[in-house]
Chains A and B, each alone.
Chain A
Amino acid sequence: MKIVTIKELLSATVLCNEDCLGKHVYSASCSDMMSDVLAYQKEQAVLVTHLVNAQVVRTAEMMDMVCVVFANGKKPTPEMIELANDNEMVLMSTDLSAYESCGILFGNGLKGGHKE
């Protein structure tokens, strides 16, 4: 699934790296606990979260994730956007809940990762 499709499905606002919307994601993860995110192998994945701090972007970077969706209208800080810019990572915000966001993405064919 292309990142631009995620944006459209979730009616999300893209906050940085709009030129990367053509990248593909192959799986998704949803958590506010970053160690849980780090425990599951994902290839070019998207992370759905409510958590807003710099470690969200660092965690996504460590897992080679290419997109983070902030649910419930949460917005990343300028520092997080700067970190994401260093990694060409798309950050977007949706007014949908994490539950609704995941349901929509899963229903459209985006599956979860697997534990190593």
Chain B
Amino acid sequence: MVVETAFTPVTAIIGGAMIGLAALVLMWSVGRIAGISGIVAGAILEAEDERNWRLLFLAGLFVGALIASVITGALDDVSSIASTPVLIMAGLLVGIGTRMGGGCTSGHGVCGISRFSQRSIVATAVFMASGAATVFVIRHLFGEGV
């Protein structure tokens, strides 16, 4: 399903700076990378001492998102753009892919690139390219998306 969206430079920059600040606070305080795929996986699969800070971070994430959404209304019109079978397949791919590749948009895309990590620069280039190629296939070869 193709839903057109407007370019929103101001909120993009403000939100992006907040994400950056979040990564900075986490590194300055406890020396950890704000990679959300790793934090989610660790919050579920790690032993208790490694799990607790991740659960705390995730609790904060929901609280911060809730407050921001109440103030800005940014989540008011948000809905899913894919069917249930596609969401299941996509979720599995994101879960397996981020673990196999060691990170996602936050861990590789923000924290890794800013440390000039070659692995992160390569990973980000690959998932951007495979993402763009996938959208090209589902929207322009198959038609109206999935």
Report if A and B associate in a common complex: no
